Amino acid sequence: MTVDTERWARYLIDAVDQRREVAAITSLVDGFGVGDAYEVQRKVLAARLAAGDRVAGAKLGLTSKAKQEQMGVDEPAYGWLLASSVLDAGSELDTAELIHPRVEPEFVFVMGEDMAGEDVTADDVLDATERVAGGIEVIDSRYERFKFSLADVIADNTSAARVVVGADGIAPREVDLATVTCSFEIDGVEVASADGSALLGQPAHCVALLVRHLTRLGGKLEAGWTVLAGAPTDAHALHPGSEVTARYSHFPAVGLQAL
């Protein structure tokens, strides 16, 4: 039976707009698969763009063991970053805008050139990258109890909600990104730490997978886009009043204040 992807796109858009958690689609639709999920994701994006938003970039999710184990999903997933979701460095975020937000540190690539190809490598990604910076992603699954399967989280644009990107960063080959360490703090206490090798051995490799994915869909990664390679650590609940800081060995620290 064909899945009514238009209906499920509307279901997720309503959940975001009404700040309300909803049942996982796979609990409601037999046989809802990854192909259906990317089609729902595409329709949600199209609706946002039609309403005046813009694509600011793309993201990977579930690229570290820490995240895969936390969420019980063992494959990476790809999603979109909307311009409306990008917060300025040092920003405040009103948690009442979201359902049950969590925060996680990110390795962020700012692309200098368009990229496409089914066998793009990490080395090609480093050639096409303008700079690499730290970031904090706020994720907010639209699903009840933050629980989902791979197809659910893909349909839900990999839980994307907000992101803060560090203002500076480094040239892509200034250091081996696998060795860049990250310490993630909430209210001055370290809650998790990892290095870049947690991201499939090399953050640039994650971006290469994203390029291959976009190419399979008939698209490309575009110059000027911001790309999140994924969180190297698990995610933590974001409570009103909390101050979140991601510190890195080679990128400037990134902060977010929750209201």
Task: Enumerate binding residues for Mg ion (CB under 5 A).
Answer: 137, 231
CA gap 247, 259 in Å, rounded = 21
Q: CB-based contacts of 52: which residues, under 8 Å, 6+ apart?
A: none
Q: If binding means CB under 6 A, how many residues of this protein chain bind ligand OOG?
A: 14
Cα 210 to Cα 208: distance, rounded to the nearest angstrom: 5
Question: Quick one: what does residue 62 bind among Mg ion, ligand OOG, none, with the CB cut-off 5 to 8 Å set by partner type?
Answer: ligand OOG
Place of tokens 């800081």: 245
**Smallest Cα–Cα separation from 183: which of 233, 109, 229?**
233
Phi first, then psi, for residue 138 (nearest 5°) are -100, 115
| Helices first, then strands: H and E counts in the chain | 6, 13
Three-state DSSP at 229 gives coil
Per-residue interface string for the shown chain with ligand OOG, residues 72-111, x marking contact by CB under 6 A: --------------------------------x-------
Q: Which does 172 bind (CB under 5 to 8 A by kind): Mg ion, ligand OOG, none?
A: none
* Residue keyed to tokens 């390029």: 211
Q: Residue 28 Cβ, how far from ligand OOG at the closest point, in Å? A: 19
Give 141 or 245: the residue with its C-beta nearer to ligand OOG: 141
Distance CA 141, CA 237 (A): 12
Phi/psi region, residue 19 (left: phi>0; alpha: psi -120 to 50; beta: rest), is left
Please give the residue whose beta carbon sits closest to ligand OOG in the complex.
61
For ligand OOG, the closer CB: 177 or 235 = 235
Residue 194 binding: pick among ligand OOG, Mg ion, none (C-beta 5-8 Å cut-off by kind): none
CA distances from 81 to 120, 145, 225 (A): 21, 23, 9
CB of 137 to Mg ion, least distance (A): 4
Smallest gap from Cβ 136 to ligand OOG, in A, equals: 11
The interface mask with ligand OOG, positions 216-255, x = CB under 6 A, is --------------xx---x--------------------
Interface positions with ligand OOG (CB under 6 A): 61-62, 67, 71, 104, 137, 139, 141, 153, 158-159, 230-231, 235
